[in-house]
Structure 1
């Protein structure tokens, strides 16, 4: 009898240990995978039970909010996007079916009230008591009025493209437009299969040959290295030989003798190809790294939705540093060089602010449910791309691009605009990627921008520059 009791005790003990082990596994080891499963009922109810914080633009427009409803007799909160596709790629979505993307994902701790600050601790007690958890409100630096103008300008052309505007002093994202777009309220399922890739944030995930806008980087490298001055003379033929192939100016134009400054203002390929050859691979790539190429900007946005710019191999990966490149063609923004609109806006911002690269920042402030400010990000400077003297030289030359060169369509009455056009070959005859980057005002700049329009038969000066002007008019009407 005692032996049977002993055996029964052993069986029960083993069973209890097994139960403890399984409980430990599900609570500790498999906790993250359980939380990731969309079918997990506890997670569904937990997310729906949170009164997720709103996302609001700097000019007071609600971009995302939670609305109460009932489900199985419980009070739940469903996400709603009052402006539809206005800033859908930046704001993202929070969906029980599709998960989270954009700022809805990267700012999830603030929006769900699960940060480590005092408000987050209070929310933890609310969870334990069964009270409604209320997330923090996030106020963006985005200007909704200017964002609408950017979206309208791209949409009326019926094109795929992007507009990015930064505050060059602090990296604030004032505009981040991408077309085509989607309505996160009703269009997620359709967007997943849309051939136009509306879920793609072209500002941060679109990689394009930057064309002549990259000449700003080449010029910064050459001026800093002492390879040229603005007065250095060049012959200006229509074409030169580069690596056994002809490299020509736009429409094969011959310019005759001219200065380096004139070459930037009038975007002369043959001159910049020669400057690239004189610089060499190591010097040009070092300057590119200083501007942020070859790595992802470390900002508050999902990493997979913000791609690095640089020189890519045929597999779509960044090249090995030891790999050979066609430096003259890289110097004019072609070959295997690809950049995001965000990267080129950062190039413009560095010229505008005296040579520094500043981390992109979408958030103006985070407010607790009681209205108190719990976080207000400070500018983060990532390094120096060029000397202050080189930046000053480029500011003057880029102002001439708008006043006397290829960027005249970006002119805005009462505002000194500086910029650089770009018309990049796509490999399809007659189709270009049209660019315009720049900043305004030319001195004490408040706006640095990049405009990219895909697959058009026009030039950057014809297509992209007028969009920049329209957005600048909207921004200055908001700030004057």
Structure 2
């Protein structure tokens, strides 16, 4: 064989090898990612004619497939309507798309997951029609219902978590939508419904609990600042700290006032850290954050999960704490304003970590995956994200949060016979727009079973007359009561 032919043969062999390598990579390595991509219509086509499995909450199927007389053979039915819409998502033939748990757990629900191979073989042998597996969620129906009803027609979100396991007990975003309108096989009706929802100014398709535009956390961020202050000093809740009526950070002429321009404590300019926390004073925490320093404040935020994109398996947008550009920016960051942006899930994780003696658990909403006969395929095991603070610091924050509900701004969350811990927050926007209001809590404080984060956009129905204590705290209270009463 002469040299030109050898070169050509080597080139052809190299190209063939490259082609086979790429084909193998796409088919085996990239397959899971490509199959879960919402833009991949082939994944949806493959599911046509399959009886997709149910999505289950507390033993009841909230999503099922119903046999119909059309080319698709089965119609997806969302029995709870809008109550679980931002969790279940929708499976749409008209739009060739799927969202939420329908997308995240499509392998099981659509029957293509490798764990269902035995079931596939049995169906082939018996000649029975193809069925998908089932997905059981961690949600508590009573807590979910209470959160939905308490938010009502207000824009906002509620996230409730088991502090010890990370299991999501409630996850509500309002306003919501009816996934049945998008899942219908009537293409014209489905497209009309999507057009109406996508142009609605209240943005019902946005999952505010996990992403959206995110929010400034306001004074609920003082949980993180207080943690950083305690972790980086010898402070305790009884320690006396500076708390002037106003404070001007270095490098600016902008003064920071306490809420309502009131004095902190007795007006002496010195109060206990506990008093500053339960009164939600601004100046002690603005000064405290600056004293801790930007590097350590950022490190503390990362320990709570800032900058991390969690998968529940729904994607939770990473909360943001960019490096402060100056001490004045850090001062505002330290009271939950300026550049801090969070999801309600992130704030629930902070509350849950404090309740769990400083350990952050990764959030999850899938309890189990099952075969079509409801035999267990897998069970989600609790997983630690990391330790955000020492157990001693956690106990100090717990104590201050209990005091906030007993005698501070969070008193409207108090429940007779139950020790509740909480922190209010009111995040200012501008002079012409009512603030977003927050409440983060957990209960029972001596043996935490539930941690709740609530945000209501623009103070909800209260408008300029609302704040975290009057608007968000009562919502958290109802969720806690519903969960404790049902468990």
TM category (shorter chain) comes to 0.7 to 0.9
Matched with 1:7 is none
CA deviations 1:152-194 (Å, max 9, x no partner) are: 1111xx3100011000111111000110000000165132222
Q: CA 1:231/1:85 → structure 2, altered by over 3 Å: closer, same or farther?
A: same
1:220 to 222, 227, 231: 227
Matches of 1:70 and 1:141, distance apart in 2: 34
Say which SS state the counterpart of residue 455 (structure 1) adopts: helix
Q: How does 1:285-300 map to 2 (within 5 A)?
A: 285-300=298-313
Matches of 2:336 and 2:342, distance apart in 1: 9
Matched with 1:438 is 441
Matched with 1:93 is 90
2:102 to 81, 99, 104: 104
Does residue 65 (structure 1) correspond to residue 64 (structure 2)? The answer is yes
Please report the TM-score for the alignment, with normalisation by the length of structure 2. 0.84
RMSD: 2.6
Matches of 2:362 and 2:386, distance apart in 1: 10
Q: CA 1:244/1:382 → structure 2, altered by over 3 Å: closer, same or farther?
A: same
Say which SS state the counterpart of residue 103 (structure 2) adopts: helix
| Residue pair 1:114, 1:124 contacting (<8 A) in 2 also | no
Say which SS state the counterpart of residue 181 (structure 2) adopts: coil
Say which SS state the counterpart of residue 151 (structure 1) adopts: helix
Matched with 1:477 is 485
Does residue 463 (structure 1) correspond to residue 457 (structure 2)? The answer is no
Say which SS state the counterpart of residue 68 (structure 2) adopts: strand
Choose 436-445 or 139-148, whichever is displaced more: 139-148
Matched with 1:315 is none
CA deviations 1:363-416 (Å, max 9, x no partner) are: 122221222111111101011100111001111110000001000110112211
Does residue 81 (structure 1) correspond to residue 57 (structure 2)? The answer is no
| Residue pair 2:361, 2:384 contacting (<8 A) in 1 also | yes
1:149 to 146, 151, 171: 146
Matches of 1:454 and 1:416, distance apart in 2: 28
Matched with 1:6 is none
Q: CA 1:92/1:124 → structure 2, altered by over 3 Å: closer, same or farther?
A: farther
Q: How does 1:9-158 map to 2 (within 5 A)?
A: 46-58=46-58, 60-72=59-71, 76-98=73-95, 99-117=97-115, 119-123=116-120, 126=123, 131-155=128-152, 158=153
Q: CA 1:285/1:38 → structure 2, altered by over 3 Å: closer, same or farther?
A: closer
Q: How does 1:239-254 map to 2 (within 5 A)?
A: 239-242=246-249, 243-254=252-263
Matches of 1:251 and 1:226, distance apart in 2: 29
Deviation (angstroms), 1:62: 2.4
Gaps of 5+ in 2: 1-18, 183-192
Q: How does 1:343-422 map to 2 (within 5 A)?
A: 343-422=346-425
Matched with 2:8 is none
Say which SS state the counterpart of residue 48 (structure 2) adopts: helix
Paired residues, what number?
Answer: 438
Please report the TM-score for the alignment, with normalisation by the length of structure 1. 0.85
Q: How does 1:332-347 map to 2 (within 5 A)?
A: 332-347=335-350
Matched with 2:430 is 427
Matched with 1:238 is 245
Choose 188-197 or 343-352, whichever is displaced more: 188-197
Matched with 1:160 is 155
Matched with 1:14 is none
Q: CA 1:35/1:159 → structure 2, altered by over 3 Å: closer, same or farther?
A: closer
Say which SS state the counterpart of residue 438 (structure 1) adopts: strand
Matches of 1:400 and 1:133, distance apart in 2: 57
| Residue pair 1:112, 1:133 contacting (<8 A) in 2 also | no
Say which SS state the counterpart of residue 289 (structure 1) adopts: helix
Deviation (angstroms), 1:149: 1.5
Matches of 2:302 and 2:140, distance apart in 1: 30
Does residue 307 (structure 1) correspond to residue 310 (structure 2)? The answer is no
Matched with 2:274 is 261
Say which SS state the counterpart of residue 186 (structure 1) adopts: helix
Deviation (angstroms), 1:45: 5.5
Matches of 2:443 and 2:342, distance apart in 1: 22
Gaps of 5+ in 1: 1-20, 312-318
Does residue 186 (structure 1) correspond to residue 177 (structure 2)? The answer is no
| Residue pair 2:36, 2:103 contacting (<8 A) in 1 also | no
Matches of 2:384 and 2:103, distance apart in 1: 24
Q: CA 1:44/1:291 → structure 2, altered by over 3 Å: closer, same or farther?
A: closer
Does residue 275 (structure 1) correspond to residue 273 (structure 2)? The answer is no
Q: Which runs of 4+ in 1 moved over 3 A?
A: 28-40, 42-46, 124-131, 321-325
Matches of 1:114 and 1:300, distance apart in 2: 18
Matches of 2:331 and 2:234, distance apart in 1: 14
Say which SS state the counterpart of residue 70 (structure 1) adopts: coil
Deviation (angstroms), 1:300: 1.0
Matches of 1:338 and 1:35, distance apart in 2: 28
CA deviations 1:104-135 (Å, max 9, x no partner) are: 11111111222222x33432674698742211
| Residue pair 2:320, 2:342 contacting (<8 A) in 1 also | yes
